[in-house]
Chains A and B, each alone.
Chain A
Amino acid sequence: MQRLRHGNLNERIWAGLAVLCLSSGLLGCGAGTAITPNDVPPEQDPGDPPAPLVLPAQSEDRMRFLTRATFGPNEHDFTRLGQIGYQSWFVEQLLLPASLHRPLLEAQGQGAGQFQRQDVWWKLSVTAPDQLRQRMAFALSELFVVSQHDKILLHEAVALADYYDLLVQGSFGNFRDLLEGVTRSPVMGVYLSMFKNEKADLESAEHPDENFAREIMQLFTIGLVQLTPSGQVASGPGGVPIATYSQHDIEEMARIFTGWNFAGAASWDSPQVSLGPMQNWSEYHDQAAKTLPGGVFVPAGQTGQQDLDQALDLLFLHPNVGPFFARHLITRLVTSNPTADYVQRVAAVFADNGAGVRGDLAAVLWAVLSDQQAFTGHITDPEDFGKLREPMLRITALWRAFGGVPQNGKYQLWESENTLGQAPLSSQTVFNFFRADYSHPGVVQDSGLVAPELEISDEVRIVLGTNLIRTLLVKGYPEAPFTSSEDVWMDFSDERALAAEPAELIDHLDLLLMGGSMPAAMRSLLIDHLETIPMNFGDLPDGTQRVLDAVQLILISPQGAVQV
């Protein structure tokens, strides 16, 4: 029987570290790792020691790693990574304290609403030291989706920030714990209407709400059809996919999730709002026996928490979860069309982190980032490897690359939902900003590929996003003609110093903004263009216009929009 419950976060991180030490020969783990007897298998036959993991570490490799592990590479992280290597950098990030969103929002006082919440997201995503954790939390927020587009949550910015912090704090924990945290979150309770869900009322023929019961299975854990260990659709008799659950299973699952209300509510109908995990009221919980997917029997008379534990355990142990979650994380961080082997390797780590623990998110994240396909896919699969950058991440990458600092402390990208099709916790539906299986007529569909981010790259958004990048650049430095105290200023001094030699400038930007993936023909075009721009242009500091043109063209180009 696999362990489902774990000790505190530190214990799990140390367990993860132990695994990293074992699997990678990482230096510096040292004696501290011996403190987790519960999570490490007792005695193993050491056998042959695993070969030390050697990951390619050219400048391009490191930049590409940081593109996935952070909200965009910058010189600081690039240098640090070069000094200590991938594993140590990863461990260093694991151990950084979590930067939380809710306290920064609450510090802004009573009037703080959704704009201020989004502003906190931009601030922490661009500047927080715990980049790996913040990036993981963002990827989780695109799986366990809640949104301000809800009649109640629209007015609950602090609650949404608190929910995001649940993801931030759970980013390196265990999937099972996070799943329970999400399930009992009052924000999820409101968003998918599990909150105040009552057992059936036979007289009025009312039945429990099926919303959360359906989506926790379809979207958060197992999906609609049985998967192979590598995440492919498994074929049943006659080549037909096998459904993971039936409508009847949903109805039974809906009965499991009854009786939950705000923590400390004075009465069932009390309007009092509380941000703690929801609590169960036995008189509203359906205590009759139930049958879960796969025919698992839930005995009568269990408490709401016992029912919930049994259902979440069932989902957590379902063989689909590993490949399902692996694919989600790979497609959010690395590539839209991973090989089956890549998914399978990551799913295997989900099943067992090497120390007998299932659902260790830190280990799964490391498996995604350190996989051989992540390092070599651009060579072995040059046509299809990589992904479109998410629109918001194009902007965080810009600000991180050039140290963007808002003059008034606010990033104020409040229109990003219109201009980018994305804003933090602002999906239109629980299906995230884009569907995981979105394809697109033409070269993508013809090749059997998916390109989720293309769903929000229509002809309106693509132009608005292009214009936004331009606006942020032309006003985004101290000497800019039309800049004001509301703008985010970037530092282009390193780039100006290279501007007299356009080839050097372009190579520098290629590394910083494109991980060295710039095609030769693009490089030539940009160099030729820069040479037509005088170093001394207008009243700007020497080289500025060359830098601005180069950065803008790279960021708005289709080549720069794809991360490889």
Chain B
Amino acid sequence: MSFQAEFARGGPHFDRRRMLLGSAGALLGGVFAWPDRLVRSVQAASLAPLGGASDYKALVCVFLVGGNDSYNMIVPSSGSAYDSYAAARSNLALPKAQLLPVGAVGTPAQEMGFHPALPKLRQRFLSGDLAVLANVGTLNAPTTKADVLAKVPHLPAHLYSHVDQSRFWQATQAESLEARGWGGKLIEQLAALNVGSQLPAAISLGGANIWQMGVQTTPYAIGPTGSVAYQGFESGMGLARREVFDQLLALQHERRLVEAFAVQHQRATEFGEVVSEALSTAPQISAAFPANDDLADALKAIARLAAVHDQTGVARQVFYVRVDGFDTHTGHLAAQPELFAQLDNALGAFQDALDELGLANDVTTFTASEFGRSLSSNGKGCDHGWGGHQLVMGGAVAGGAAYGAWPEMVLDGPQDSGYGRLIPTTAADQMAASLAGWMGVSPGALGQMFPNLAQFSSSDLGFLI
């Protein structure tokens, strides 16, 4: 399976190296109609010195818990591709006229449209800040329908199961004893860049998660307003109580669970003050985040923390946030517009905030989800699938394009493993390795982190500059 960076308008393979080595301006006059955003990124990439004060990069993982029905997120909008889509999706198909068109993109070049509840993200796509990764999923090696029918050994274990497929997306070597989150592992790979940082580089606004768990790394959890302070330890008697509490934490603990709990308290104590102090200097953000929305609150907190990276001394950071509610077996038609509107408003405001803070090129946001959903309907919704589309957003994204091959949306077709659970054509590991590579993990280290990567034709999908 060939996988090269395919750019907008179905142009020929894009040679990224040649692009960077050559003159972006000269290419501009060529046959390609590059999205504006891409041109600016390329110019920035060739002009900005490496290292220095601006050497900050962060990934934001927006995990869509439950399995996002992404085949309704970006949809073929014309011709036989739409007709196939509509036939396969039955009562879940979006009317053609409601789709927000983005022109012909991807491989094969296909007229596509965003879900009507995603106007802001569609705008970001058009302005070149957002890319679509087509039909990504859990794979140990390129996989065909014949492989699925033959139950070959390299099929991921427990396909279609929430917990197992979440683990696969979030971990490297998901099925081995070496399983660790790739966010946590990449931070460990890049530890030298974070020497002297006062904060853990893995910060979660969604509590515990596998993605940020490395060999030693554990996510540090904060709330939407930052760290939470202990009460009752402030003055007089409180100070004495605090001292006893600290001594209790520091005792030699025979019981391992006591030790683990004590460590959590010590981390809360140690890092809470750093976060609070740093956030107290964070600039005001005028971008309009929606009110009373957990995702928006979380993303706003991430923007503020990224803005104070200088104070905390961190150069490479990973943030995690989760959004619940995507397991739409039922109530699908009512739920999906709400879920997508929530994503659109919160992610749109987040990118506005990053623009405002001058961090657009430093922070890359991506969606992930344990699986896509079945194309076919159960009448009220759809069931667990396999492959699905993902979004990547940020100034460093070569946006306005779709990467990877669009799946054939045909029930019982060549990519259907059953009921329209489409076999992925791009591996989650390829997507992860591309993001980790952008953060600075060397190709050799990527190969160790993702041992299955060698099975695929490309370890860099080329969506980041």
Contacts and interface: CB of A to CB of B under 8 A. Distances in A.
Contact of B88 (A205, A388, A557): A205
A336 to B, nearest CB: 7
Given A386-B255, A519-B251, A556-B245, A205 B267 contact: no
22 contacts: A205-B88, A205-B90, A209-B330, A210-B384, A247-B159, A383-B255, A429-B327, A431-B162, A438-B208, A441-B214, A441-B216, A442-B218, A443-B259, A449-B256, A454-B208, A459-B268, A470-B231, A522-B251, A525-B251, A553-B244, A562-B261, A564-B255
Interface string B326-359: 0101110011000000000000000000000000
A542 interface: no
Interface stretch (A190-198, A294-302, A314-322): A190-198
Given A470-B232, A522-B251, A558-B261, 16 more contacts: A206-B376, A207-B383, A211-B330, A383-B256, A441-B184, A444-B256, A459-B220, A459-B264, A462-B261, A464-B228, A466-B265, A470-B231, A474-B232, A519-B254, A525-B248, A553-B245
A563 to B, nearest CB: 9
Interface in A475-524: 519, 521-522
Contacts of B272: 459, 463
Interface of A: 149, 151-152, 192-193, 196-198, 201, 204-211, 214, 218, 224, 241, 243, 247-248, 250-251, 336, 382-384, 386-388, 421, 428-429, 431, 435, 438, 440-444, 447, 449, 451, 454-464, 466-467, 470-471, 474, 519, 521-522, 525-526, 529, 532-533, 545, 549, 552-553, 556-559, 561-562, 564
Interface string B397-417: 000000000000001000000
Contacts of B237: 533, 545, 549
Nearest to B229: A463
Contacts of B335: 151
Contact of A558 (B164, B229, B248, B327): B248
- B207, B330, B384, B419 interface centre (most CB from chain A within 10 Å): B330
Contacts of A522: 248, 251
Contacts of A457: 261, 264
Contacts of A384: 255-257
Contacts of B90: 204-206
A428 to B, nearest CB: 5
A224 B87 CA distance: 33
Contacts of A461: 207, 221
A451 B380 contact: no
Interface in B237-271: 237, 240-241, 244-245, 247-249, 251-265, 267-268, 271
Nearest to A471: B231
Contacts of B377: 204-207
Chain A to chain B: the 5 pairs with minimum beta-carbon distance, closest first: A458-B221, A193-B330, A558-B261, A459-B268, A558-B262
By size class, the interface of chain B is 35 or more
A562 B324 contact: no
Contacts of B258: 558-559, 561-562
Contact of A149 (B219, B249, B324, B380): B324
Given A435-B163, A454-B261, A562-B258, A208 B248 contact: no
B204 interface: yes
Nearest to A462: B264
A388 B260 CA distance: 10
Contacts of B159: 247
A420 B214 CA distance: 26
B65 interface: yes
B221 A441 contact: no
Interface string B198-225: 0000001001100001111111111100
Contacts of B268: 459-460, 462-463
B106 interface: no
B227 interface: yes
- B160, B255, B327 interface centre (most CB from chain A within 10 Å): B255
Contact of A441 (B164, B218, B271, B329): B218
